[in-house]
């Protein structure tokens, strides 16, 4: 983590909150049948983290940490019924207005529901949020610095551009996912679709191919130091090691465009993430994470999310090929300016 990003107190804060608080809950040994030829737990294969469980606990649930079996079944049945309804109803034409406003029947207004894959079950624990700490299941409060960032006039303008309420001056104002550069961030949380990950490992490396925008994280396990803090990347710089049968991955070195999908507001270069991958069952990886960004939140936060084995294959997400959406957004912006008497360049 860069000395520019953290004060001495901030560094102490990070060391304390990044302690492996999940470890006590983990089973202690991976079966021999789930190990590589060189003895490490075998994380290889294609895994999916789709779930109906939200990142943050809905405020109306208050201190309710877990759903009952009946409540979980109700959530899952509502999703199944909605998917069936959308699969069988007649086709309809959507308009630009559908992109800006929620549709009364909950249909997406962009991709057909066939293309979406949010999952059909809540997490097995029936937790009401993926966030397990803070205990209220919600993100910590923003720091004053972060609150100023996300409520500034420029932040409001960029949000209006990305929602289509204002014309885009250039492609640089558009979201990184619109530009096919970077989508989920780290930790990698589930979204509406493409929630698959292909893991490959050797004795001294683990590679994780993320389906969405086809990004690959190559994680050295050989004890090498992080790259120089002057080099900043969208996915940061990851280093891994084994703690017993758990792969622990620490990522720093994010640039100032770092994101975590589903988290409002932009993050800072001080972002520091620790992930824990534990496989003690044939079809399940326990994925846990701790997030620290003392320039964004007043405290760390932690989450837990299962990854389940899927057969695949996992097709290439060739985002840049025919990315006419980006061209059309900019062309539409120029048309709007021309209609309003602007330059229309």
pLDDT, position 13: 41
Residues 288-332 have pLDDT tens digits of 999 999 999 999 999 999 999 998 888 888 888 888 888 989 999
Q: Which residue has the higher pLDDT, 329 or 108?
A: 329
Write out the two tokens for 338.
């021309």
Compute the distance between CA of residue 27 and CA of residue 122 in angstroms, rounded to an integer: 22
**Is pLDDT at 142 greater than 60 in this prediction?**
yes
**Is pLDDT at 172 greater than 50 in this prediction?**
yes
pLDDT, position 101: 53
Compute the distance between CA of residue 21 and CA of residue 169 in angstroms, rounded to an integer: 46
**Is pLDDT at 100 greater than 60 in this prediction?**
no
pLDDT, position 95: 66
pLDDT, position 164: 84
How many Cβ atoms are within 10 Å of 125's Cβ, its own excluded? Answer: 14
pLDDT, position 260: 92
Mean model confidence pLDDT for the chain: 87
pLDDT, position 116: 84
Write out the two tokens for 341.
């008497």
**Is pLDDT at 251 greater than 60 in this prediction?**
yes
Closest CA to 48 of 169, 166, 188: 188
**Is pLDDT at 189 greater than 50 in this prediction?**
yes
**Is pLDDT at 343 greater than 80 in this prediction?**
no
pLDDT band at 227 (very low <50, low <70, confident <90, very high): very high
Torsion, CA 3, CA 186, CA 212, CA 263, rounded to 10: -110
3-state secondary structure 177-240: CCCCCCCCECCCCCCCCCCEEEEEEECCEEEEEECHHHEEEEEECCCCCCCCCCCCECCCEEEE
Diameter over CA atoms, the chain: 71
Compute the distance between CA of residue 241 and CA of residue 205 in angstroms, rounded to an integer: 10
Q: Kindly calculate the radius of gyration of the chain based on its CA atoms and give it in whole angstroms.
A: 21
The full DSSP string for 71-92 is HHHHHHHHHHHHHHHHHHSPP-
pLDDT, position 308: 97
pLDDT, position 8: 33
Residues with Cβ within 8 Å of residue 307, at least 6 apart in sequence: 47, 48, 49, 197, 284, 285, 287
pLDDT band at 154 (very low <50, low <70, confident <90, very high): very high
Residue with tokens 């294609």: 46
Distances, alpha carbon 133 to alpha carbons 44, 129, 268, in Å: 29, 10, 21
DSSP structure class, residue 66: B
**Is pLDDT at 29 greater than 70 in this prediction?**
yes
Length, in residues, of the chain = 345
**Is pLDDT at 97 greater than 90 in this prediction?**
no
**Is pLDDT at 163 greater than 50 in this prediction?**
yes
Compute the distance between CA of residue 167 and CA of residue 257 in angstroms, rounded to an integer: 21
All CATH 2.40.128.20 domain ranges in the chain, comma separated: 8-66+132-339
Write out the two tokens for 326.
């980006």
pLDDT band at 28 (very low <50, low <70, confident <90, very high): low
Compute the distance between CA of residue 90 and CA of residue 97 in angstroms, rounded to an integer: 20
Percentage of the chain modeled with pLDDT above 90: 64
Residue with tokens 């900019």: 330
Q: Which residue has the higher pLDDT, 17 or 255?
A: 255
Question: What is 8-66+132-339's CATH superfamily?
Answer: Calycin beta-barrel core domain (2.40.128.20)
């Amino acid at each position: 983590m860069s000395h520019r990003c953290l004060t001495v107190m901030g560094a102490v804060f990070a060391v304390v909150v990044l302690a492996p608080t999940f470890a006590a809950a983990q089973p202690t040994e991976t079966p021999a049948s789930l190990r590589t030829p060189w003895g490490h737990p075998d994380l290889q294969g294609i895994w999916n983290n789709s779930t109906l469980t939200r990142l943050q606990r809905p405020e109306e649930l208050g201190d309710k940490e877990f759903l009952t079996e009946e409540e979980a079944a109700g959530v899952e049945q509502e999703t199944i019924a909605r998917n069936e309804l959308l699969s069988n109803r007649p086709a309809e034409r959507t308009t630009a207005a559908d992109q800006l406003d929620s549709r009364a029947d909950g249909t997406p207004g962009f991709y057909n529901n066939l293309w979406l894959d949010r999952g059909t079950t809540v997490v097995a624990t029936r937790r009401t949020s993926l966030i397990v700490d803070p205990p209220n299941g919600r993100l910590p409060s923003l720091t004053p610095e972060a609150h100023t960032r996300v409520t500034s006039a420029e932040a409001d303008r960029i949000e209006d551009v990305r929602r289509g309420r204002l014309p885009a001056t250039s492609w640089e104002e558009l979201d990184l996912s619109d530009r096919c550069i970077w989508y989920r961030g780290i930790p990698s949380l589930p979204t509406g679709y493409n929630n698959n990950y292909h893991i490959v490992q050797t004795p001294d490396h683990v590679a994780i191919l993320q389906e969405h925008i086809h990004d690959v994280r190559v994680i050295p396990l050989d004890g090498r130091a992080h790259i120089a803090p002057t080099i900043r990347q969208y996915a940061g710089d990851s280093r891994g090691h084994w703690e017993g049968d758990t792969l622990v991955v620490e990522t720093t070195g994010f640039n100032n465009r770092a994101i975590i999908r589903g988290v409002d507001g932009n993050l800072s270069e001080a972002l520091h993430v620790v992930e824990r991958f534990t496989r003690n069952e044939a079809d399940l990886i326990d994925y846990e994470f701790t997030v620290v960004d003392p320039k964004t939140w007043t405290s760390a936060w932690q989450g837990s999310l299962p990854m389940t084995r899927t057969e695949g294959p996992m097709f290439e997400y060739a985002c840049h090929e025919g990315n006419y959406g980006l061209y059309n957004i900019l062309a539409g912006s120029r048309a709007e300016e021309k209609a309003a008497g602007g330059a229309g360049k």
